[in-house]
Structure 1
Amino acid sequence: MVTLGETMALMHSGTIGSLAHLPSVELAIGGAESNLAIGLSRLGVPTAWVGRVGDDPLGMRVVREIRGEGVEVHCAVDPQRPTGLMIKSRPTGATTRVDYYRSGSAASAIAPADLPEQLIERAELLHISGITPLLSASAHATVLTAVRRAVATGATVSLDVNHRSRLGSRDHLAELLGEILEHVDILIGGPEELALLAPEIDASAPSELLEALTRPGRQVVAKLGPDGAAALAEGRLHEAAGHVVDVVDTVGAGDAFVAGYLSAHLEGLGVPQQLERANACGALACTVPGDWEGAPRPHELAALLAGGSADPVSR
């Protein structure tokens, strides 16, 4: 599996409260596509991530962390632009705030030339998100180039809509994704995200959204959070219930969900099994702080699916 996108340094508070008053933050990394890549790698899928970072300590940390999780890293180092930064805080016990400092970042300058020769051509699956096209015109061109290369070799193309409102409007993202949607074999998103691709359908009707976006050979998947997920494939609607867990941090749960779904797809499992694994991966990701740290390994996944504790690690 190959994916591409921006991974940023992540500063996050370890306690609840406004960053206007907290005395310190902790440092990590995070990015939707690398979160996904790490999740797939932990599940045994050979995975490559393509990105760009600045020539700075934060960029070094991004590369080291992703590579340390067994992901094949293809990352240009930009001497002129900095590594992007996001800051995550919990103003209250029930809310999470994420602020981005990524304008003019190294990753925003990603270009088709950053795609290694023959990397996509060797992949079974190319995964993209709706985040990367919104970074810049060159990032959008890179996504288009990657998709065209994947289509030319018969690889599966998956898309997680993953709308980030601070990067661009719903209409703008719909316009950008419209150029590649016809090539997407696996389309994933929350109801509100899928609705931006089918504006005539109300987001409160997931099954109608799936029907509106289906095409021959395409799987359309709706992430429904605590309510689980639904997918339409080959004219059949599949639904799977979610898991009840003690939620610690929901950021990154959607990426873990997608990793579970795609890993099961690559193993040749049926849609019901893909949804089952996806829900379990998303649930387990919520039980651990961090954007990707809670992505499960096979034994943790097996424990939850067997009816064990949501946190199967004995202490």
Structure 2
Amino acid sequence: MTRARTSPSATPWRPAQGRVVCVGETMAALAPDPPNTLRGAERLRLSVAGAESNVAMYLADHGIDVAWLSALGDDPLGHRVRAAVAAPGVDVSHVRMDPHRPTGLLVKDPDPAGTRVHYYRRGSAASALGPDLLDGPPVRTASLLHLTGITPALSESCRRLVTEALAAEPGDRPYAVSFDVNHRAALWPDGTAQAVLRELADRADIVFVGLDEAQVLWGGRLTAPEVRALLPRPRVLVVKDGANAATAFGDDGAVTVPTPRATVVEAVGAGDAFAAGFLAGLMRGATITDALRLGHITAASALQVAADHGPLPDPREMAALLALSAREWEERATPSPSARSAR
């Protein structure tokens, strides 16, 4: 078992205090209820799904001031999505309701081997987002802008949005940028994702990437330190190794925290929850160890529900988990095959 390595008093670099703004598409989502294969389902549940809004909702759950910035169709699904994202306390007042383009839709097809997701998002309202979004509120007053590698795959204007958000050198931007690689192969023409996502990720201040997706993108036998060598510029790089561990590389080297055991109902959304927990820790000045632990705790909340957004543990329970010794934490972290690909 890999042990966490850090000084309990060590605090990492963190963004300036202020609002977090998450930018990206959120869709209406249909899934069998109860979770089953789509063909055998008698009833479908309607919810919402979007990587960036997942992060925003979990940040709000953690008490972080956060806004979600996007576009939705001015249609019943769009209004439902907007209300759902707002419910935990996310500011959605700057979301554009487009009267000419629809809200995107996805359909989940759960299976013991993994959930398949079918997308109906071409020509959606969010696909028309562009770099003009960066010129006004709430981005200009943000302390941290959170983006993912999904957005640049949606359209040329969406790629310009992400490229321009990362154009300036870190430290010269009015905000820090957090970037989750979030590789979605179906959205990218063959052979294009590798270079684009590496270039974008290496220009961010904080980066999240799964070891498995890094291996798909940049080399089948990559280790976490080798991913760091490929992405040397971010102030903080988090490499998530599924049910095994997560490693954060920062100014003071690498810190690894094992993944605690968790019941897996549905794995989709756990990576977004992890990012939100880690960012919440950073924003509050936590140690890298505690930020990684908070990422794991938040991810477990997503794993244990069929929807992308599940309830956090009681604050007293979270505090008790953060207070565990390294040995006590490791005792909770035996990998389970069912959770191995969850993050």
**Matched residue, 1:39:** 58
Describe the SS at the equivalent of 1:48.
strand
Partner Cα distance (2:146, 2:261) in 1: 28
Q: Residues 246, 303 of structure 1: CA spacing in aligned structure 2 closer, same or farther, 3 A cutoff? A: farther
Contact 1:151 1:183 in 2 (8 A): no
Deviation digits for residues 277-296 of structure 1, max 9, x if unmatched? 11111123211221113455
Q: Offset at 1:195?
A: 4.2
**Matched residue, 1:211:** 229
Choose the corresponding residue for 1:237, options 254, 257, 279. Answer: 254
Describe the SS at the equivalent of 1:166.
helix
**Matched residue, 1:4:** 23
Contact 1:43 1:296 in 2 (8 A): no
**Matched residue, 1:290:** 307
Instruction: State TM-score, norm by structure 1.
Output: 0.88
Contact 2:23 2:147 in 1 (8 A): yes
Partner Cα distance (1:203, 1:31) in 2: 30
Q: Offset at 1:94?
A: 4.3
5 Å-filtered alignment, 1:1-315, equals 1-73=20-92, 74-91=94-111, 93-115=112-134, 117-148=136-167, 152-169=172-189, 171-195=191-215, 199=218, 201-215=219-233, 218-295=235-312, 298-299=315-316, 301-302=318-319, 304-305=321-322
Q: Residues 24, 168 of structure 1: CA spacing in aligned structure 2 closer, same or farther, 3 A cutoff? A: same
Contact 2:32 2:42 in 1 (8 A): no
One-letter code of the match for 1:232?
A: F
One-letter code of the match for 2:78?
A: G
Give the unaligned 5+ runs of structure 1: 311-315
Q: Offset at 1:95?
A: 2.7
Q: Residues 296, 62 of structure 1: CA spacing in aligned structure 2 closer, same or farther, 3 A cutoff? A: farther
**Matched residue, 2:336:** none
Q: Offset at 1:221?
A: 0.8
Deviation digits for residues 271-313 of structure 1, max 9, x if unmatched? 22211111111123211221113455644533554679x9xxx
Describe the SS at the equivalent of 1:268.
coil
Runs of 4+ in structure 1 displaced over 6 angstroms? none
Q: Offset at 1:115?
A: 4.2
Contact 1:195 1:203 in 2 (8 A): yes
One-letter code of the match for 1:163?
A: H
Q: Offset at 1:194?
A: 3.0
Deviation digits for residues 190-223 of structure 1, max 9, x if unmatched? 01333466x3x544422222233223x6211111
Contact 1:170 1:196 in 2 (8 A): no
**Matched residue, 1:313:** none
Contact 1:254 1:282 in 2 (8 A): yes
Q: Residues 147, 48 of structure 1: CA spacing in aligned structure 2 closer, same or farther, 3 A cutoff? A: farther
Q: Offset at 1:148?
A: 4.4
Partner Cα distance (1:151, 1:128) in 2: 17
Instruction: State TM-score, norm by structure 2.
Output: 0.81
Contact 2:214 2:222 in 1 (8 A): no
Describe the SS at the equivalent of 2:89.
coil
Identity rate, percent:
38
One-letter code of the match for 1:104?
A: G
